[in-house]
Amino acid sequence: MSADELSMEQIDLLLKAAVAAPSMHNTQPWRFEIDRHAINIYLDGSRALPAEDPTGRAMRIAAGAATFNLRCAAAAMGCGSWFGLMPDRYDPDLVARVVVEPINEPDRVLKQLAQEIPRRHTSREPVRPVHLAAEVRALLSKAAMTEQAELTWLPAPKVKEVLDLLVDTDLREIGDWHRRAERAHWVGGERSTDGVPSSVLGPRSAAYPSPVRDMGTSPTDQTRSRAVFEADPVLAVLSTNADTRADQVAAGLALQRMLLTATREGLKASFLNQPLEYDDLRRAVQRSTGKPGHAHMVIRFGHSTVTATTPRRPVSAFVPAHQESS
């Protein structure tokens, strides 16, 4: 890196890390512009989910997660990163601006977490019954808090309440062709660049409601094999105090710091976000935490040895042609 410009190699490393972030239906709804030693992260409206994410909240969470990965990759290359969320109120698609500069002592935790980026994957497999030690729970809560969000661990009766909300969600989806068509567009089959391939859907649950979201829509996916999932899932809700666009991006940073920390602790995570796609059920999820705030993710944790990976578009697809790095 010269004094004030990122090299092509650095841009490539930074963006490869960023795009490994999770996104709803693996839409990868971000694009990047490089400005000397700063990277601007934008939402890509062409990859929106108008039926399931009409306000763009899930997109902003994904872009926040990509921003966090980018900061980790900067630390791993010996740089510091300074960032602003939603830095231009006249440009709502500009989610974050990250300035990357060489530094004597890069953030040690971000540098460590960078190693977990390629190892983190959403796991929709049954997990071994797990007793999460209080220290691990505290570690994950602290990770969320560091990024201005809160992780609430649900006690068994509240887990049951949230699982009941999944039934409500399923009932509402019956006959909602717009949502089903959108999901069918992004989920299932073989996929080489985006979307959720059938290979990562995991088995169908033998019991209902399931602690894993069954995203399959095609006849083949709906008849895949069944398995018994854990009866007492470990669930936590990630929330923020307010629900501005910047809060939603912050929730993404918190999500990713927490997921990479969980990966480092040998945990796998999956998401039960379907009730959060309806305003009233989202409020009910937040009520289950017993705290004020706005729920962004319902996260299930566990141990599993199965690793299922989703594809990503090449980095060149995310930057303007004149800034292409690979």
Ligand X SMILES: Cc1cc2nc3c(=O)[nH]c(=O)nc-3n(C[C@H](O)[C@H](O)[C@H](O)COP(=O)(O)O)c2cc1C
Q: Which residues bind ligand X (CB under 6 A)?
A: 22-26, 58, 61-62, 121-122, 124, 196, 213, 215, 270-274, 310
Starting at the edge strand found earlier in the chain, the sheet holding 294-302 runs: 150-153, 234-240, 294-302, 268-271
Cis peptide before 233 (omega within 30 of 0): no
Which residue has 């002592």 as its token pair? 105
Least separation in angstroms between CB 276 and ligand X: 8
Q: How far is the CB of 115 from ligand X (least distance, A)?
A: 16
* Closest CB to ligand X: residue number: 22
Q: Whole-number minimum distance, CB 244 to ligand X, in Å?
A: 17
Q: How far is the CB of 160 from ligand X (least distance, A)?
A: 19
Strand partners, 297: 238
Question: CB 150 → ligand X: shortest distance, Å?
Answer: 17
d(CA 224, CA 78): 46
| CA pair distance 65, 149, nearest whole angstrom | 13
Contacts of 6 (CB under 8 A, 6+ apart): 14, 34, 36, 37, 39, 100
Indicate the residue among 26 and 261 with the shorter CB distance to ligand X.
Answer: 26
Q: Are strands 268-271 and 294-302 parallel, antiparallel or unpaired?
A: antiparallel
Residue 38's CB: how many other CB atoms inside 10 A?
17
Closer Cβ to ligand X, 132 or 215, answer by number: 215
| DSSP letter assigned to residue 280 | H
Nearer to ligand X, 79 or 140 (CB): 140
**Nearest CB to ligand X, comparing residues 220 and 307:** 307
CB of 122 to ligand X, least distance (A): 4
Which residue do the tokens 């999944």 mark? 166
Residue with Cβ nearer ligand X (37 or 124):
124
| Of residues 28 and 81, the one with the C-beta less far from ligand X | 28
